[in-house]
Structure 1
Amino acid sequence: MTDKLRETQDSEFLIFKGQTFTYDDLLTRISFFQKELEQNGIREGECVALIGDYSPNAIFLLMALLLNRNIVVPLSNESREKHLDMFEDAKVNQIIEINENDSWTLREGSESASHPLLDDLREKGESGIIIFTSGTSGKSKASVLSAGRLLEKYKTAKRKPLRTLIFLKLDHIGGINTLFAILFNGGTIVTSDSRTPESVYQAVDKHAVQVLPATPTFLNMMLMSKADAGYNLSSLQLITYGTEPMPQSTLRGIHRLFPDVRLKQTYGLTELGIFSTKSKDSQSTWMKVGCAGTETKITGGTLWVRSESAMLGYLNAPSPFDEDGWYDTGDQVETDGEYIRILGRKSEIINVGGEKVFPAEVESVFLEIPNVRDVLITGRKNPITGEIVAAEAVLEKEEDIKSFRKRAVAHCRQKLQPYQIPQIISVTDRKLSNDRFKKIRNV
């Protein structure tokens, strides 16, 4: 890994709060932290929680821990209320915390705990990464990944070095993917002061960002904010999106806002890693999924994947793989030749009298309604039809609820089948997405 980094040692590696670091700085600091880990008694094979957001020392320590053959558990500051449970699930031995000023502290976790998946990595002398699933539809699961298997694809991938704004954090498989894709191609990481549309626009303008990875929920926030005025965004070449279905209305809006920017859908899961994709075009949610070492198949309308970079298993749940190594993604898809379109998770389908309703499809239509900032579509039990569709909307400005419901139903009747139209419509000011900017559906 360090040999690859030496190829671009004079290039910019990171722009953080006005400071610029080169790849030579990265190599120097990795070496420094390897010695610090040794002096602080962090042994090979120990499970180490790394708490912090994107910062120089967070990246330096992550790399040093992997080279020290540790099993790293990246955690964000935004998930603090879950940390104690995560420490227990991940059998954490040591805890490193990155503070706001980018200094770091070390404290002990639990006594050495055993688990077959962790023991397997230790016996092979491999480093690992434990990433918790988002938990949007239930309890977060602790996925154990072999760092070697995960990083293998980056060694051969050749891409042009670009300036990429980091959006997804280190505790997300998308954030890990973005980091190593940049590093192995000699690109530049750009951070923003916060994860708000205004801060992202400012970073793109100030640092000539070329690539913006985001989620559909955040891209919709960018549209609703109307905060792009006054910023020079001409450097932007590519926007990638994933982690949840993209509402067609949001995709159209982003294409109108950035007509010269290529929009690309990504696909991946914590359990499998991120795969190469090819979108039909910038205005399409149809894509091809696959890369070397990855196989896909459609069974009963659901996408199944078998991948060489797949996780070893969960620490706190049974293995989800079948006997041949296939993983049921739970994603319902449509097919068009080699292309697929993600309709939504099987677990999120609303069954209205035997008819399937996909929340993302209804959300796309609802977001077209004037004064709607965001919406969450869920199913509610009903004694006659089994379930009915419910909409919880966040409005731009206050509006009489009866008037809003009337407008919303009228709009939905023009675009949706009768069984898809929300029968319950409420207005809320609560946040509808989690700290990974993904819709919360397990409410």
Structure 2
Amino acid sequence: MQENRYALEDSRARFLLVDENFVEQARQLATQLPALERIIHIGQGPAPADMPGYEQLIEQHPAIPDSGRADNDLYVIFYTGGITGHLKGVTMSHQAICFSALSYLGMLTHTRHLRHIYVPGFFHFAAASPVWYITLSGGTHIVLPKFEMQSFMLGVSQHRATNTVLVPTMINMLMTHPDFNQYDLSSLKTCIYGGSPMPEALMRRAIELLPDWQFRQIYGMTETGGFATMLHWEDHTPDGIRIKSAGQPAPGVSVRIVDTKGAPVAANVLGEISIRSTALMDSYLKSPDSTQAVLYDGWMHTGDAGYLDDQGFLFVADRYKDMIVSGGENVYSVEVERVLYLHPAVQEAAVIGVPHQQWGESVHALVVLRQGSQADAQELMRFFREHIAGYKVPRSIDFQDQPLPTTPVGKIRKNVIRDQFLDHLGKN
């Protein structure tokens, strides 16, 4: 709830549209945000007495003139952890979004009669991008109320979906579902995935069990319009090297690797991934210093490390920042740690990503309590849920009474903590 409040307050939102799942939260937010003029109900069934219904408002009011916004005018603000992990509003122009949609269509083999079934939430570019390029192609939108594998399989089968976006863990969940063989999924031709490369064993199994599907990996971030490169289906050869890459730049997108001074490096040399295109964000809302730190000379400096081979295929090697990729969602450890430090019982805290069979990585916290204070994992979990989104909440919390290991300058040594966790995991 606090993240929603921050986004609404930071963007100076005047209207809020909610369905039945967020009615109570919206009422609470309305008491805290005086700039919020109206809450509009867009859910199923009749609207609550204190909220006008969206369809009713449309029926009762005449059409309004086109506002004439276009080109570099502000179109949308996405809130993301950004490069630093602090929640920021990524501002995108009409021109950037239109370019993004056209570039995405340019990467697809089939662009007619598309029927896209949505899995990720619309707060994420993984769902927002198809809204634009599927609409631009004259396609059909199949919207699920929430992600649940049974409803996804049913939706593909009943509505003959042709396109979707999944993360590798979801593909694995699909193929291991007990009812997997009870649904006809053959209509689906294009499966975009991201968040992490497709493990080779999983790719081989997907080719065998989903022979009608063509997989395409994308790499990018909110600040780059949600994507920058694509690994096409024909490069998904399980025994080849390219399946380990994130593909080549999309139409109209330039990717280069730079050293610590910002100078381009040669092919196969590791450095920071930088991206240039019309789809780049304009800025972080009301954060000029943060914007200038990552967006300069026309390039977005991603904070990710990687290299380009001599054919222009991008290989993402590691992250400069401590970021955890859980189920395709980026979780910045510093963001979770900030919440822990808000709890009065917490003296020290470190958050790391640890292996997870289903989600790739899960969020794990190591906590040192203040002397004389008490708190258990359940209490901290409840505290987390009041402050951050559910997918960022640690799935496991360990406590210790000794100070966390640090460098000579006092920085917590997360690599040591991670190694100790994996060593303990290996012994059990």
TM-score bin (small chain): 0.5 to 0.7
Matched, 1:98 2:68: no
How far does the alpha carbon of each residue in 1:350-389 deviate from its partner, in whole angstroms, 9 at most, with x for none? 9xxxxxxxx99x84xx63xxxx776527697646994447
Amino acid corresponding to residue 298 of structure 1 in structure 2? I
Q: Which residue of 2 aligns with 1:275?
A: 228
Deviates more, 1:200-209 or 1:93-102: 93-102
Using the alignment, how far apart are the partners of 1:332 and 1:123 within structure 2?
Answer: 35
* Contact 1:267–1:275 (8 Å) recurs in 2: yes
Amino acid corresponding to residue 281 of structure 1 in structure 2? H
CA offset at residue 324 of structure 1?
0.7
Using the alignment, how far apart are the partners of 2:201 and 2:70 within structure 1?
Answer: 50
* Contact 1:164–1:190 (8 Å) recurs in 2: yes
Q: 1:346 aligns with which of 320, 330, 355?
A: 320
Using the alignment, how far apart are the partners of 1:377 and 1:287 within structure 2?
Answer: 24
* Contact 1:237–1:261 (8 Å) recurs in 2: yes
How far does the alpha carbon of each residue in 1:248-281 deviate from its partner, in whole angstroms, 9 at most, with x for none? 5544443443234211101221112033523322
Moved over 6 A (4+): 121-125, 377-380
- Shift in alpha-carbon separation, 1:323–1:127, aligned structure 2, 3 A: closer
Using the alignment, how far apart are the partners of 1:238 and 1:173 within structure 2?
Answer: 17
Using the alignment, how far apart are the partners of 2:322 and 2:365 within structure 1?
Answer: 8
Using the alignment, how far apart are the partners of 2:37 and 2:139 within structure 1?
Answer: 33
Q: 1:254 aligns with which of 206, 228, 236?
A: 206
Q: Which residue of 2 aligns with 1:307?
A: 277
Deviates more, 1:250-259 or 1:376-385: 376-385
* Contact 2:70–2:94 (8 Å) recurs in 1: no
Matched, 1:327 2:300: yes
Q: Which residue of 1 aligns with 2:173?
A: 221
CA offset at residue 223 of structure 1?
4.0
Identity of aligned residues (%): 22
CA offset at residue 231 of structure 1?
0.9
Cα RMSD for the two superposed structures? 4.5
Amino acid corresponding to residue 209 of structure 2 in structure 1? L
Q: Which residue of 1 aligns with 2:423?
A: 423
Q: 1:140 aligns with which of 87, 99, 112?
A: 87
Gaps in structure 2 of 5+ consecutive residues:
1-10, 54-67, 260-270, 325-351, 367-403
CA offset at residue 171 of structure 1?
1.6
Matched, 1:239 2:191: yes
Amino acid corresponding to residue 222 of structure 2 in structure 1? T
SS of the counterpart of 2:314?
strand
Structure 1 residues 10-409: aligned runs within 5 Å: 47=13, 49-52=15-18, 84=29, 95-101=39-45, 105=51, 126-133=73-80, 138-154=85-101, 157=105, 159-273=111-225, 274-275=227-228, 277-279=230-232, 280-281=235-236, 283=238, 284-300=243-259, 301-317=271-287, 318-319=290-291, 320-337=293-310, 338-348=312-322, 363=355, 367=357, 375-376=361-362, 382=405, 386-388=413-415
Using the alignment, how far apart are the partners of 1:341 and 1:303 within structure 2?
Answer: 10
Using the alignment, how far apart are the partners of 1:234 and 1:424 within structure 2?
Answer: 44
SS of the counterpart of 1:177?
helix
Amino acid corresponding to residue 275 of structure 1 in structure 2? A
Aligned residue pair count: 304
* Contact 2:223–2:280 (8 Å) recurs in 1: yes
Gaps in structure 1 of 5+ consecutive residues:
1-44, 56-75, 108-120, 351-358, 392-418, 427-443
Q: Which residue of 2 aligns with 1:413?
A: none
- Shift in alpha-carbon separation, 1:348–1:46, aligned structure 2, 3 A: closer
CA offset at residue 176 of structure 1?
1.6
Deviates more, 1:308-317 or 1:229-238: 308-317
CA offset at residue 321 of structure 1?
3.4
CA offset at residue 289 of structure 1?
3.5
SS of the counterpart of 2:223?
coil
Using the alignment, how far apart are the partners of 1:375 and 1:281 within structure 2?
Answer: 23
How far does the alpha carbon of each residue in 1:334-364 deviate from its partner, in whole angstroms, 9 at most, with x for none? 43321112234321379xxxxxxxx99x84x
- Shift in alpha-carbon separation, 1:218–1:322, aligned structure 2, 3 A: same
SS of the counterpart of 1:206?
helix
Amino acid corresponding to residue 181 of structure 1 in structure 2? Y
Using the alignment, how far apart are the partners of 2:89 and 2:25 within structure 1?
Answer: 16
SS of the counterpart of 1:333?
strand
- Shift in alpha-carbon separation, 1:190–1:123, aligned structure 2, 3 A: closer
CA offset at residue 99 of structure 1?
2.2
Amino acid corresponding to residue 299 of structure 1 in structure 2? V
SS of the counterpart of 1:266?
strand
Using the alignment, how far apart are the partners of 1:218 and 1:80 within structure 2?
Answer: 29
- Shift in alpha-carbon separation, 1:141–1:252, aligned structure 2, 3 A: farther
Using the alignment, how far apart are the partners of 1:102 and 1:161 within structure 2?
Answer: 34
Amino acid corresponding to residue 339 of structure 1 in structure 2? F
CA offset at residue 79 of structure 1?
12
* Contact 1:390–1:424 (8 Å) recurs in 2: no
How far does the alpha carbon of each residue in 1:286-331 deviate from its partner, in whole angstroms, 9 at most, with x for none? 2334234422111242211122121111125321434312211122
Using the alignment, how far apart are the partners of 1:250 and 1:331 within structure 2?
Answer: 24
* Contact 2:272–2:306 (8 Å) recurs in 1: yes
Using the alignment, how far apart are the partners of 1:129 and 1:102 within structure 2?
Answer: 29
